[in-house]
């Protein structure tokens, strides 16, 4: 009997038994892995939530990866921007000359022309120092008729008198004023990205003083009239005559004794970082201050006709105007320790209150 039946097609032939067993065994081995792949997928791993303190301490960076906010051991240096803003707005008045920093708006008179420094203990805490040292000195000269030359010319001709009238002498007033303020404070901050709130407290110390001296080209005389300057602010003059029945007085010096200021102040404000480690800050504060002022002393020269005839003396006078003031004060009050307004001998216009717009650079 032949092995193959030639009458049946080839496809209808029965497969060999060992082939079937091979295929069935492969299927049994592969089924568990196929079933595992088709099972329900695992949920994605969730990242741990970031708490608010972690968000606060996160480093804010720009597109180049550089930190925008100041970090530990950074130093900040700044200055008041109000004079700069004042100058900018005045420059827009093209048809008018620049008249000065106090003519645009009133608050500029009490703006603090101070330098601000900070050292960051960490990214949320800083030690800050503000200081301003302002001095003002100069002299005013007023020319008056030379009394002795004019008296001598009176014994000559009209031409001598005309020539003598052209000869002048100088009355000179010299003045000085100084104003110093330094404050040291502790600053905390918190915020979101570029916008940071600041708050804290500081202690302050200030010192103010002023004085003037006057010299005159003509000495008082019991022989001829003498012209002298009676007011150096208006440059007005007066005449001392030998036969006057009243006292004629003119100041030789004036000294406003040193005054001191002490204060404790709390502050709050905001900073916005317009560029990497460059910010604009606005601050306002309220504090307790004590201001002391000693007596004012001045010296004057006096001419009068007494029982012994014409007499010239020098008097030293203590006005007894010592003062002590204390109380709470806001920054715009120029009587505060945190103001740079000199109350001794008049306003020096060296303004410097603590509430101001500040530009800060951090390194």
Conformational region of residue 260, where left means phi above 0, alpha means psi within -120 to 50, and beta covers everything else: beta
In a domain, 289, yes or no: yes
Which pLDDT score is estimated for 357?
77
What pLDDT was estimated at residue 282?
A: 85
Three-class secondary structure assignment of 264-315: EEEEEEEEEEEECCEEEEEEEEEEEEEEEECCEEEEEEEEEEECCEEEEEEE
* Residue 7 is assigned to a structural domain of this protein: no
Domain count for the chain, please give it: 1
Residue 327 tokens read as: 């109380």
pLDDT, residue 329, reads 54
The whole-angstrom separation of Cα 135 and Cα 219 is 32
Sign, CA torsion 37/38/41/42: negative
DSSP string, 309-349: EEEEEEEEEE----EEEEEEEETT-TTSTT-----SSS---
Name the phi and psi angles at 290, rounded to 5.
-125, 130
- CA pair distance 175, 346, nearest whole angstrom: 12
Q: Which pLDDT score, from 0 to 100, does residue 344 have?
A: 34
Position 220 scores a pLDDT of: 95
Answer whether residue 235 is part of any domain. Answer: yes
Look-up: residue for tokens 């006709």?
305
Is residue 237 situated within a structural domain? Answer: yes
Point out which residues pair with 126 in neighbouring strands.
120, 187
User: Does residue 54 form part of some domain?
Assistant: no
Show the domain range for 155. Answer: 72-80+111-362
11 within domain boundaries: no
> Could you tell me if residue 232 is inside a domain?
yes
pLDDT at 355: 60
Nearest to 181 by CA among 207, 156, 158, 162: 207
Map residue 158 onto helix, strand or coil: helix
Q: Which of 181, 67, 183, 205 is nearest to 117 (CA)?
A: 183
What pLDDT score was predicted for residue 314? 93
pLDDT at residue 290, as a whole number: 78
Position 9 scores a pLDDT of 44
pLDDT at 326: 60
Structure tokens that stand for 70 in this block:
């100041």
Q: What one-character DSSP code corresponds to residue 174?
A: E
What is the reported pLDDT for 83?
65
User: Consecutive sets of 10 residues in the chain, 363 residues long: mean pLDDT of each?
Assistant: 43 47 45 46 51 55 84 88 68 53 34 75 92 84 95 94 95 89 90 92 85 94 94 92 93 84 85 92 79 83 91 88 62 46 34 61 91
Contact between 210 and 135 under an 8 Å Cβ cutoff? The reply is no
Residue 196 in any domain: the answer is yes
């Amino acid at each position: 009997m032949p092995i193959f039946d030639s009458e049946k097609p080839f496809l209808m032939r029965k497969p060999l038994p060992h082939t079937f067993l091979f295929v069935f065994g492969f299927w049994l081995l592969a089924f568990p892995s196929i079933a595992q792949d088709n099972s329900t997928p695992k949920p994605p791993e969730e990242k741990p939530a970031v708490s608010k303190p972690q968000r606060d301490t996160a480093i804010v960076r720009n597109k180049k990866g550089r930190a925008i906010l100041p970090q530990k051991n950074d130093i900040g240096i700044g200055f008041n921007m109000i004079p700069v803003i004042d100058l900018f707005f005045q420059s827009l008045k093209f048809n008018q000359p620049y008249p000065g920093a106090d003519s645009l708006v009133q608050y500029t008179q009490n703006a603090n022309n101070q330098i601000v420094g900070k050292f960051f203990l960490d990214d949320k805490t800083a030690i800050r120092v503000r200081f301003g040292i302002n001095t003002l000195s100069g002299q005013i000269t007023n020319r008056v008729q030379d009394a002795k030359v004019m008296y001598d010319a009176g014994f000559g001709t009209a031409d001598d008198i005309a020539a003598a009238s052209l000869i002048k002498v100088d009355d000179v007033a010299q003045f000085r004023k100084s104003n110093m303020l330094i404050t040291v404070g502790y600053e905390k901050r918190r915020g979101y990205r570029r916008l940071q709130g600041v708050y804290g407290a500081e202690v302050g110390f200030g010192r103010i003083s002023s004085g003037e001296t006057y010299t005159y080209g003509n000495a008082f005389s019991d022989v001829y009239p003498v012209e002298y300057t009676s007011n150096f602010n208006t440059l007005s003059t007066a005449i001392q005559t030998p036969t006057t029945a009243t006292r004629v007085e003119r100041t030789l010096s004036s000294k406003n004794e040193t005054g001191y200021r002490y204060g404790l102040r709390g502050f709050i404000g905001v900073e916005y970082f317009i560029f990497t480690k460059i910010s604009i800050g606005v601050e306002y504060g309220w504090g307790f201050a004590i201001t002391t002022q000693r007596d004012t002393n001045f010296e004057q020269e006096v001419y009068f006709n007494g029982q012994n005839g014409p007499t010239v003396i020098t008097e030293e006078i203590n006005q007894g105007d010592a003062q002590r003031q204390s109380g709470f004060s806001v920054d715009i009050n120029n009587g505060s320790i945190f103001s740079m307004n000199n109350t001794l001998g008049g306003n020096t216009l060296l303004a410097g209150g603590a509430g101001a717009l500040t530009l800060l650079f951090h390194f």
